[in-house]
A and B are shown apart, each in its own frame.
Chain A
Amino acid sequence: MKKLIRPTAEREERKLRYIMFMPAFIVILSLIAFPFSYCLFLSFFEYNIDMPALGMHFSGITNYYKMIFDERFYNGLITSFKLATIALPLEILLGFLAAILIHYRSFKGERIIRISLIIPMVIPPVVVGLVWKMLYNPEFGVINFYLKQLGLNPPAWLSHPQWSLIAIAITDTWQWFPLIALILLAGFDSIPVELIEAAKIDGASYFKIIKHIFVPLIRPLILFAVILRLIDILRMFDIIYVMTGGGPGIATETLHYYAYKIGLSHGGNISYASSLAIFLLFLIEGLALLILKVSRGEKA
Chain B
Amino acid sequence: MKTQQYRRIMGIVLFCLGITMLLIFIYFPIIWMVTTSFKQRAEAFKLPPDWIFTPTLENYVWVLTRSTLPRCYVNSMIAGFGSVLLASLIGIPAAYALARFEMKRKEDIAFFILTARMGPAIGFMIPFFLMWKTLGMLDNIFALILTYLTFNIPITLWMMRGFFQAIPRDIEEAAMVDGCTRFQVFFKIVLPLVRTGMLATFTLCLIFSWIEFPFALVLTYTSSVTLPVSVTQFITHQGIEWGQMTAAAVLISLPVVIFAIAAHKYIVRGLTFGIIKG
Contacts and interface: CB of A to CB of B under 8 A. Distances in A.
Interface of B is mostly: helix
A278 B150 CA distance: 17
A264 B120 CA distance: 14
Nearest to A100: B18
A117 B26 contact: yes
Contacts of B234: 130
Contact of A119 (B15, B146, B153, B260): B260
Contacts of B38: none
A224 to B, nearest CB: 7
Interface string B23-53: 1011101101100100000000101110000
B249 interface: yes
Contacts of B256: 122-124
A242 to B, nearest CB: 6
Contacts of A49: 130
Contact of A113 (B22, B157, B186, B245): B22
A156 B166 CA distance: 52
A29 B176 CA distance: 33
A263 B129 CA distance: 11
B222 to A, nearest CB: 18
Interface residues of B, number: 96
Interface string B124-137: 11111111000000
A174 interface: yes
A223 interface: no
6 contacts: A23-B89, A35-B127, A183-B278, A221-B276, A241-B217, A270-B126
Interface of A: 1, 4-5, 9, 12-13, 16-17, 19-21, 23-25, 27-28, 31-32, 34-36, 38-39, 42, 49, 97-98, 101-102, 104-105, 109, 113-128, 130-135, 140, 142, 145, 174, 178-179, 182-183, 186, 206, 221, 224, 228, 231, 234-235, 237-238, 241-242, 256, 259-260, 263-264, 270, 273-274, 276-278, 280-281, 284-285, 288-289, 292, 295
In the A-B complex, the 8 residue pairs with the smallest Cβ-Cβ separation, listed nearest first, are A24-B94, A35-B127, A20-B93, A124-B211, A122-B260, A38-B127, A277-B123, A21-B97
Interface of B: 11, 15, 18-19, 22-23, 25-27, 29-30, 32-33, 36, 45, 47-49, 89-91, 93-94, 96-98, 101, 103, 111-116, 118-131, 146-147, 149-150, 153, 157, 173, 176-177, 181-183, 186, 207, 210-211, 213-214, 217-218, 227-229, 231-232, 234-235, 240, 242, 245-246, 249, 252-253, 256-257, 259-261, 264, 267-268, 271-272, 275-278
Given A20-B101, A124-B211, 4 more contacts: A25-B94, A42-B130, A113-B19, A119-B261
